[in-house]
Amino acid sequence: MADQRRELARQLFGLTDGSEAQTKMAARISEAILSDLIQHAQKAWQSDGPGVLVIRRTVDDARWSPVQEIQNNLTIAERHNDAGMIAALRSTLERLGSLDIDTHALVAFADHKGFRLLQLPVVNPAGAINELLSSWNA
């Protein structure tokens, strides 16, 4: 896990020396960021209804995508016969249908590589770092 955290820190924060102090600092920063993402998703869920927090890496922003928007995007993907996007959006809707926002939040990474979901646990979100690394590098 320490090697993966160092890699996450290197990718997110440009840390290079790999010292124990930098690793601990990067882990705390990562945990804070993940907790912030969860809080943002919980607030948006309460105000705008069920959805997913989409981090659009190509335009460097994050936005709430409610269920209706996801369904609209699914319709567009079906019209264009985009099998990858259809599968991703259907999976998102399925996960949202059973998601308990008090225990988990959904975050999606959208970029030129596609649309990847990450389910973050409210308690100990850093436990999802392995999945975050996989999603980030995929």
Closest by alpha carbon to 53, among 97, 8, 117?
117
The predicted pLDDT at position 1 comes to 44
The predicted pLDDT at position 82 comes to 94
pLDDT in tens, 111-126: 887 778 888 888 878 7
The DSSP string of 99-125 is --TTTEEEEEEEETTEEEEEEEESS-G
Least confident piece of the model among 28-37, 81-90, 94-103: 28-37
Phi, psi torsion values for 60, nearest 5 degrees? 55, 55
pLDDT in tens, 7-45: 655 666 666 666 777 667 777 777 788 888 899 999 999
Is the model's pLDDT at 137 over the cut of 60? no
Phi, psi torsion values for 62, nearest 5 degrees? -135, 140
Half-sphere CA count of 131, side-chain side, radius 13 A? 15
pTM of the model: 0.73
The predicted pLDDT at position 94 comes to 96
The predicted pLDDT at position 86 comes to 94
What average pLDDT score do residues 92-114 get?
A: 90
Is the model's pLDDT at 67 over the cut of 90? yes
